[in-house]
Structure 1
Amino acid sequence: MLWAPHRLAVPIVALVTAAQMFTAPATAASAENAATAATHEIVTWGASADRMGEAASNRSHRLIVRTSAGGTDPRIRLSNAFGDRPLTFGQVYAGVQKEGAALVRGSNRRMTFGGERSVTVPAGETVLSDPLPGRLRAATSLVVSLYVAEAGGPATGHGMAMQTSYTTEGDHTAEENPDNWTGTAGSWFYLDAVTVRTRSDIGALVALGDSITDGWQSTPDKNRRWPDYLTRRLQADPDTHIKGVANEGISGNKVLADGAGQSALNRLHRDVLSHPGVRTVLLFEGVNDIKAHTGVTAEDLIAGYRRIIDRAHAAGVCVVGATVGPFKGWYEWDAPAEAVRQEVNAFIRTTGEFDAVADFDRVLRSPYDHERILPFFDNGDHLHPNDTGMQAMADAVRIADLSCDRQAVRTR
């Protein structure tokens, strides 16, 4: 059955449909067999936290997220990282999306925190839920419904979700029908990670980047960001043990300076190293540092890359460096910025300081002008790829390069 719900009057058809995405906890026999196999926790979905304006009390959020790796005992992480006062969630439920704000019947289940249905998150902190017994399948449209009972000051969330979520006044988190969920939102609030328990040889990748990684100009609600396409490749590949993917892109983000979110350097721990089971970070940032005309040199950016590499390696995490893509035609492009980009890309390609390279520049650039994105991949602003360009980027990643000898998977 779906999530092993404690309801007997659920139509068989609904259960069969739901069972395609969730399964019940193991039987006694299978549980005994599972206990003999080593398992650990890995991140199956993630989104970078940022400051989101004023928080509101007595409000519910129905958040739609897409899992990558499947596993058992899912947990969620709620964030008050940018809050200046405690934040109280009255109830939290998790289920499976049917369509829009409607859930698959029988899938919605209450989550607890230390055995309690409500939880208060201190300012600047995060909290993990208790494990929810059962199996969460890969590629599930998971619905996390949060009731914010008491809040104020800055809210925490992820601004550009490229995914429609839903809102309502009051607590309607337990409802599976969409009737009261009349508001929509293009952002995720408070939820910044989902984890599952799986075999100890299975690991996760974090895509650390800016608006291109965040998915800007990909088709909303279709999961066509380049990390989504890469997720599908990983799930289909029987030879790789990298199955989890967390997209930690923030539109406008920089390696060196805060602004559109904290810099990659300042958010590295929270958005990458704090997640369980991470084996590899794929770093695709730098164009915002370069095109901002703030005097950032290639040496400055390379020094930032080296700090990220050193910190990741110290944690036993591989680092794949992605070359900075072409952006001639974007209003901030000029020849000096292009010179910095070329020097930075030469460092990424040739020095061997990264464990591997994903050459997104080579994939995206026009063969007739290497400073421009290929028109077939250009969404029209000469910087951000369209869906086809996103898929080409994901296809250019060599899956074998996502593993390296230094890997030391962190477990819970």
Structure 2
Amino acid sequence: MRAWFTGVRRLTALVLTAALQAATATAYAAGAAPDTAPSAARTPGHVVTWGASADRVGDGAADRGYRLVVHTSVAGDDPRIRLSNAFGDRPITFDNVYVGIQEQGAALVRGSNRPLTFGGARTVILPAGATAYSDALPGRLPAAVNLVVSLHTPDAAGPATGHGMAMQTSYATWGDHTAEEDASAWPERIGSWYYVDAVSVRPKAATGAVAVLGDSITDGWQSTADLNRRWPDYLARRLRTAASTVKGVANEGISGNKVLADGAGQSALHRLDRDVLSQPGVRTVFLFEGVNDIKAHTGVTSQDLIAGYREVIRRAHAEGKCVVGATIAPFKGWSEWDEAAEAVRQEVNAFVRDSGEFDAVTDFDRILRSPYDHERVLPFFDGGDHLHPNDKGMQAMADAVDLGSLDCVGTARP
């Protein structure tokens, strides 16, 4: 069985390898000018196949290398990655960026690792707050593959941009070992992604994506690490075999995130444009946030949170996107639960279900709650802290999504 699995993985890698070998990798001494505007219009025909919300992740260090493992959702041609210096306070240089296919751990499938260029140059300099798309690599990137982005920065300092809780093991090193396919130079295991916040591809015509705006439940806490068992991962698996033309899934969850207030990452309202609306090919915004606003005893009322939801709906509709709203799941038993927070949750959920302001609704509360106590998560789905679902709960959430509600071409309201 192991030999068969390895053979299948190598065959999948060969599809990408053949594509990458067609790419031009001419080096330039000077850095390329970054594409600083994060507009989806910068990648016509592309659809996001992987995404992770940007946040500050400590401080950068010079001569640092990262080998970052990400999992694709939709297949397509001409893959591109997006580098981010969104939280940096100074320019940062990337002098080598490679992509390959994971063999095991930090080791790559032999022959799959290829360099990326930015405006034709191997080096790109991102000003503070900027993002940059790589040039496309001609050829096809499969769905459901572990793509590995290896990057090196000779001058990083100050706040680093990345995603703190990846639920995926990646690797780090000192020095530039980006071109190496073996694991020997990558001894350090890390649980965060650095400087990469999106991968996009050019899929077949009329294919779109859904971006999930969420908190730690969407981010995958209490799911099994390295197995892609966050609920958006299960959703991507369903979409791959469904008739829906929505195939891409971007997981834009941040642990501890709130709709209204900055703290654990910028608030959903503050990061909506960068993390969601700028992602290429996004057809639908899936909004599943709010428990952190109400459980922290901050005085947030149901009307406050509903106003935040309405702003997300308004801004997404203005960009021609549909918005699916999800009810807030139960969390009785969590240390910050009380009857006042529960009352707000119930009022907000009534709005989500009954207001008609969302284009569609997914009722996660109904799916996850115990039939014996609607304020608690069903024990079978409880990850152990009475707030975060386990793998079975994550799968149940994905199974509850009406796939037709995501495939809403032409139905978004102004």
- Return the TM-score normalized by structure 1: 0.91
- Within 5 Å, give how 1:321-360 maps onto structure 2: 321-360=325-364
**C-alpha displacement of 1:203:** 0.1
Is 1:103–2:108 an aligned residue pair?
yes
Q: Deviations over 1:48-97 (max 9, x none)?
A: 00011111010100000000000000000000000000000010000000
- Distance in 1, matches of 2:9 and 2:235, equals 31
Q: What are the Cα deviations for residues 148-197 of structure 1, in whole angstroms up to 9, with x where unaligned?
A: 11111100000000000001100000000000100111000000000001
Letter in 2 for 1:137: P
Q: Does the 8 Å CA contact 2:89/2:129 hold for their aligned counterparts?
A: yes
1:402 aligns with 2:409: no
Q: Secondary structure at the match of 2:154?
A: strand
Is the contact made by 1:167 and 1:185 (CA closer than 8 Å) also made in structure 2?
yes
Q: How far did 1:13 drift?
A: 10
Q: What residue in structure 1 maps to residue 13 of structure 2?
A: 18
Q: 1:244 is matched with which residue: 234, 245, 248?
A: 248
CA distance in structure 2 between the aligned counterparts of 1:68 and 1:405, rounded to whole angstroms: 20
Quote the Cα distance in structure 1 between the aligned partners of 2:326 and 2:15.
35
Q: How does 1:36-55 map to 2 (within 5 A)?
A: 40-55=45-60
What does 1:222-371 align with in structure 2 at a 5 Å threshold? 222-237=227-242, 239-371=243-375
Counterparts of 1:177 and 1:23, CA distance in 2:
19
Match of 1:141 among 139, 146, 158: 146
Q: Which runs of 4+ in 1 moved over 6 A?
A: 12-15
1:175 matched to 2:180? The reply is yes
Paired residues of 2:17 and 2:113 also in contact (CA < 8 A) = no
How many residues get paired? 385
Deviations 1:193-217 (A, max 9, x none): 0000122300000011000000001
CA distance in 2, matches of 1:314, 1:188: 31
Q: Is the 8 A contact 1:22 1:136 kept in 2?
A: no
| Alpha-carbon shift at residue 21 of structure 1 (Å) | 5.7
1:15 Cα offset (Å) = 6.3
Task: Say if 2:111 is the partner of 1:116.
Answer: no
Q: Determine the structure 2 residue equivalent to 1:155.
A: 160
AA partner of residue 19 (structure 1): L
| 1:401/1:152 CA distance change after superposition, 3 Å | same
1:265 partner amino acid: L
Aligned partner of 2:27 in structure 1 is none
> How many Å separate the matches in 1 of 2:227 and 2:213?
21
In 1, the alpha carbon distance for the partners of 2:158 and 2:52 equals 21
1:267-302 deviation digits (Å, cap 9, x = unpaired): 000000001110001100000001011110000000
Gaps of 5+ in 2: 1-6, 23-43
Specify the alignment match of 2:63 in structure 1.
Answer: 58
Q: Tell me the SS of whatever aligns to 1:276.
A: coil
What is the SS of the residue equivalent to 1:150? Answer: coil
17 and 205 in structure 1: CA distance in 2 versus 1, 3 angstrom threshold: closer
The answer to whether the 8 A contact 1:21-1:140 is kept is no
Rounded Cα–Cα distance in structure 2 between residues aligned with 1:403 and 1:353: 18
Letter in 2 for 1:173: T
What does residue range 76-91 of structure 1 map to in structure 2 within 5 Å?
76-91=81-96
Q: Give the Cα separation in 1 of the matches to 2:184 and 2:404.
A: 47
Per the alignment, residue 28 of structure 2 pairs with: none
Shift of 1:24: 3.1
CA–CA separation in structure 2 for the residues paired with 1:358 and 1:312: 18
**Contact 1:68 1:245 (C-alpha < 8 Å) held by counterparts:** yes
Cα distance between partner residues in 2 of 1:17 and 1:394 = 26
Deviation at 1:406, TM superposition (A): 3.7
C-alpha deviation, 1:109, in angstroms: 0.2
> In the aligned structure 2, how far is the partner of 1:19 from the partner of 1:114?
26
The match for 1:376 among 360, 377, 380 is: 380
Distance 1:17 1:74, change over 3 A: closer
Per-residue CA deviation, residues 115-164 of structure 1 (Å, 9 max, x unaligned), is 11111000011011000111100001000000011111100000000000
- Report SS of the residue matched to 2:82: strand
Matched, 1:203 2:204: no
3-state secondary structure, aligned to 1:293: coil
Say if 1:51 and 1:261, in contact at 8 Å, map to a contact too.
yes
Whole-angstrom distance in 2 between the partners of 1:243 and 1:194: 14
**AA matched with 1:266:** H
Secondary structure in 1 aligned to 2:313?
helix
Shift of 1:236: 1.0
Q: What's the TM-score once normalised by structure 2's chain length?
A: 0.90
Judging changes above 3 Å, is the alpha-carbon distance between structure 1 residues 264 and 297 closer, same or farther for their aligned structure 2 residues?
same
- Provide the C-alpha distance between the structure 2 equivalents of 1:393 and 1:44, rounded to a whole number of angstroms: 20
Partners of 2:278 and 2:10 in 1: how far apart? Answer: 36
Q: Tell me which amino acid in the other structure corresponds to 2:316.
A: A
Moved more, 398-407 or 317-326: 398-407
For residues 16 and 328 of structure 1, what CA distance do their matches in structure 2 show?
A: 48
SS in 2 for 1:243: strand
1:188 aligns with 2:193: yes
Verify the 8 A CA contact 2:14 2:112 in the aligned structure 1: no
User: In 2 relative to 1, CA 142–187 (structure 1 residues): closer, same or farther, beyond 3 Å?
Assistant: same
Q: Is 1:221 aligned with 2:226?
A: yes
Kept in 1: contact 2:95–2:154 (CA 8 A):
yes
